[in-house]
Structure 1
Amino acid sequence: MAGKRRQFGRVRKLPSGRYQARYVGPDGQLRPAPETFRTKRDADAWLADKQTERRRGDWHDPDAGRVPFESYADAWIKEREVTTRTRQLYASLLRHHLAPTFGPVNVADISPPLVRRWRADKLAAGTGPTTVAKAYALLRAILGTAVADQMIRRNPCTIKGASVVHTPERPTATVQEVYDLADAIQPRYRALVLMAGFLGLRWGELIGLHRRDVDLDHAAVRVRRAVAELNNGQREIKAPKSAAGKRTVSIPAAILPEIREHLNNYAEPGADGRVFVGGKGATPRRNHFNRLWRKACADVGVKALALP
């Protein structure tokens, strides 16, 4: 009695004694197994798995992931709808931390052990944990898109908690220290220090304020934009990252006269006038203010305070 003819794929014995398995994919292309098998049973089992994948609609083109990671990541970054500053951060993380290891590796060949080894090596080499966490998060996001693109079946970034950035709690100034720092800083930045200390506004939000955003009659400041400084020195005006970031903040009555005086003496005129400008009429840069801030902190004996 003749043996039953195989309905899916073919297995053949090679001169080496090992077995090769092949099948025709949904795309009509002949798809050999990526490796040969010691026994015919192993080859049959591999074909059975591929047949099951096709029946479930879970088949992936094994060649789809044969794309160098760096070229795929470059395209991924260009396609994201993010701010210029975020795009620059992604490009820097890719160039300095991901490409040296994963750049020439095909997306399909990036495995969990390779990712674990990369992370361990980065930490052992002294790369900051925050930087490693951000680079890992970017790698996981890129490979997550590769899964959605059906280039790979699973995301190899499986390290629990590896993308969590642990930021130590920043020391905060006391009320007296805020006033001492405001006294020590240049007069045109006194109101900036007070608003940072008592309103909790960030540097980019403070620099992004216009006169129309400051309502002295109702003792409130509307935060509607922020100024981001890019790596190339250019600035970018952007909206807050979330709905919660676009907010109205109350001004304590104690500093209302200080803000009124600042608007009268230092802010640009008109509703669209900038609230904070430098001595020559330019929007202040953080690196310049950083020097003034460090000097003020030293003058009043305050240490380890971050910039507002």
Structure 2
Amino acid sequence: MANKKTHRRFGAVRRLASGQWQARYHGPDGLRHPAPRTFASKREAEQWLSVVEAEILRGEWQNPELSKIPFGEFGRAWLKERKVSQRTREEHESVWRNHVEPFLGNYRLDSIGPAVIRRWRSELLENGRSEDRTAKAYRLVRSMFSTAVDDERLKRNPCRIKGADQYRTPERPHASIAEVYRLADLVPRRYRFLVLLAAFSGLRWGELAALRARDIDRTKMCVRVWRKVAQLRDGALVMGPTKSVAGVRTVALPSFLDADLVEHLPEFAEPGRDGLLFTGKRGGVLRRGNFHRETDWVRTVVKAGLPEGFHFHDLRHTGNQMAAEAGATTRELMQRMGQSTVRAAMIYQHATSARDRQIADELNARVELLRGAERNDDDEPDDGAAGVLASVK
């Protein structure tokens, strides 16, 4: 009875020489598609066909041939087609080359399920990859599978490990106002305003390096951020758009920076309104490596009273911390920082000791004012005390 076909309204089943049953059907593409496996009984094969028929009727059918592509081939095409900055492309390719393709590249797309993803992630950590790097690899793979789902190659994304895309970075140090000024006094004069602007605006290094003189409005005391400089692995500098759409913004500056700006412009900025605001010692766009050498950064931060290992990027943390302590809301911090999500802004929204001290001092002043008014009038509180009482309530 081997190979005996049984025709149905949809599809057909047949018994093979092995005794197993095979199911086949014609898909919406007009091609014949076999089931990905054989079945122990005719009933199981027919039930499988019923499920496929229902998917076609609901418009949920997916061509199974599309999911048979090797993940390595799919991932390489994804990287090539992805529209990102050159610096981001380099980062994606590095993560793919070192942490993804050697582990998952030979798997077929439809053979990678949640169990395979869990095992791959565990192997990365067991083989010494950092939690930060592993989280980046997981986010990259999840994005690739999201595209596979959108392309109707798969029905579900197999990357479903809660929290695997997150990594809590150690809290970075931030400087006090006095430390910022000590640091600004210690670096070469051409970089004094760079240090101050970084600390009191919260701009990123690449955003600062891309600033032109016209980007700072001295009348309104604000800086317009609309592009950045990125340094590629081969050392090339690329001028391009900001990290995200949210990165295009206008940041208000404290008025006291104007005096340092006035001194900086004629001596260290390129001529004209389109000239670079900051340049290296030999002119041209700032390079991070040259800046560190010319400022003797590692030793200089220690001389300024800052902890060893204080990075230039920590000046951005300093500015954001100061803004939070000044009472900036999460939305205001997001705008100032150029962030499109609340996660980064929330880092600075935790209760700081300085802000907590201000709250306690305000409560103390209100209570002392009320109690003093009550002691001065044993009969009835005067209008002033009544007003204080009403404000406390």
Name the TM tier (shorter chain): over 0.9
Who wins on radius of gyration, i.e. which is larger? 2
Which residue in 2 is equivalent to 1:297?
301
Aligned to 2:171: 169
SS in 2 for 1:190: helix
* 1:13 paired residue number: 15
**Residue correspondences, number:** 305
Q: 1: CA distance between counterparts of 2:168 and 2:32? A: 49
- What does 1:78-89 correspond to in 2, within 5 Å? 78-89=80-91
Higher helix share: 2
Cα offsets for 1:248-269 (capped at 9, x unmatched): 2233233322221111211111
**Structure 1 segment 10-49 matched on structure 2, within 5 A:** 10-49=12-51
Shift of 1:166: 2.5
Shift of 1:242: 4.3
More displaced, 21-30 or 178-187? 21-30
| SS of equivalent to 2:247 | coil
Give the Cα–Cα distance (whole angstroms) in 2 for the partners of residues 5 and 20 of structure 1: 12
Contact kept in structure 2, 1:173 and 1:305, CA below 8 Å: no
How far apart, CA to CA, are the structure 1 residues paired with 2:164 and 2:187? 40
- Structure-2 separation of matches of 1:237 and 1:129: 31
What secondary structure is seen at the aligned counterpart in 1 of 2:65? coil
Change in Cα spacing, 1:210 to 1:75, as seen in structure 2 (3 Å) is: same
State the Cα distance separating 1:68 from its structure 2 match: 1.7
* CA distance in 2 between partners of 1:11 and 1:220 (Å): 73
Deviation at 1:119, TM superposition (A): 0.8
Q: Do residues 65 (structure 1) and 67 (structure 2) align?
A: yes
- Higher deviation after alignment, 7-16 or 110-119: 7-16
Structure 1 stretch 59-68 or stretch 218-227: which is displaced more? 218-227
Amino acid at match of 2:134: V
> What is the alpha-carbon distance in structure 1 between the residues aligned to residue 69 and residue 96 of structure 2?
16
Query: Residues of 2 paired with 1:195 and 1:211: CA distance?
Result: 13
Contact 1:219 1:252 in 2 (8 A): yes
Q: Which has the higher contact order (CA 8 A, sep 6+)?
A: 1
> 2:311 matched to which residue of 1?
306
Which of 185, 188, 192 is residue 187 of structure 2 equivalent to? 185
Structure 2 alignment gaps of length 5 or more:
1-5, 314-393
User: What is the RMSD of the two structures over their aligned residues, measured on CA atoms?
Assistant: 1.9
Q: 2:7 touches 2:13 (CA, 8 Å); kept in 1?
A: no
Do the aligned residues in 2 keep the contact of 1:290 with 1:307 (CA within 8 Å)? no
Once residues 38 and 162 of structure 1 are traced to their aligned partners in structure 2, the CA distance between those partners, rounded to angstroms, is: 38
| Identity, % of aligned positions | 45
Moved more, 196-205 or 238-247: 238-247
Once residues 123 and 54 of structure 2 are traced to their aligned partners in structure 1, the CA distance between those partners, rounded to angstroms, is: 39
1:267 aligns with 2:269: yes
Measured at CA, do residues 147 and 243 of structure 1 come closer, stay the same or move farther in structure 2, by a change above 3 Å? closer
Q: Deviations over 1:82-116 (max 9, x none)?
A: 21111111111111111011112222221111111
- TM-score (normalizing by structure 2): 0.73
Aligned ranges 1:79-118 → 2 under 5 Å: 79-118=81-120
CA distance in 2, matches of 1:290, 1:280: 15
1:200 aligned residue (178, 199, 202): 202
TM-score scaled by structure 1?
0.92
Runs of 4+ in 1 over 6 A off after TM superposition: none
CA contact (8 A) 2:280 2:290 kept: no
Aligned partner of 2:221 in structure 1 is: 219
- 1:216·1:260 contact (CA, 8 Å) conserved in 2? no
- Matched letter for residue 298 of structure 1: V
